[in-house]
Structure 1
């Protein structure tokens, strides 16, 4: 499985040490009870609110 995606990573938080490292990012957010930014729409991702509730709102508003 390819866990590095530095070219196509859609997260705008580029200073994160996990930026473009999908496996590390997913594991980090999962431990925190959150969702990675790449699961959100562009506008939803820019809120930096990685909660499951915000993901639901983001998809509901599409």
Structure 2
């Protein structure tokens, strides 16, 4: 499978611009899931900026109707 990094970067919501996984979604997702996290693209912009990518944070946002 060919990586579409440049295309992925067009929609990448991650604000951690120095991350080597930006635009390489399969590596990003794998990395975050190992740490019980979701990638930044799963969060609303204001929540993503907190860098709290935990499942618990995401669940709070969902329960508050923010995600």
What is the TM-score when the length of structure 2 is the normalising length? Answer: 0.80
Report the aligned-residue RMSD: 1.5
**Which structure has greater helix proportion?**
2
The correspondence for 2:18, drawn from 3, 15, 23, is 15
Unaligned runs of 5+ in 2: none
Whether 2:48 is the aligned partner of 1:55: answer no
Cα distance in 1 between the residues matched to 2:62 and 2:48: 11
The answer on whether the counterparts of 1:3 and 1:23 sit within 8 Å (CA) in structure 2 is no
Three-state SS of the structure 2 residue aligned to 1:20 is coil
2:41 is the alignment partner of 1:38:
yes
TM-score scaled by length of structure 1: 0.85
Structure 1 runs (4+) greater than 3 angstroms displaced:
none
Stretches of structure 1 lacking an aligned partner (at least 5 in a row): none
Larger radius of gyration: 2
Q: Residue 3 of structure 1: CA displacement?
A: 5.2
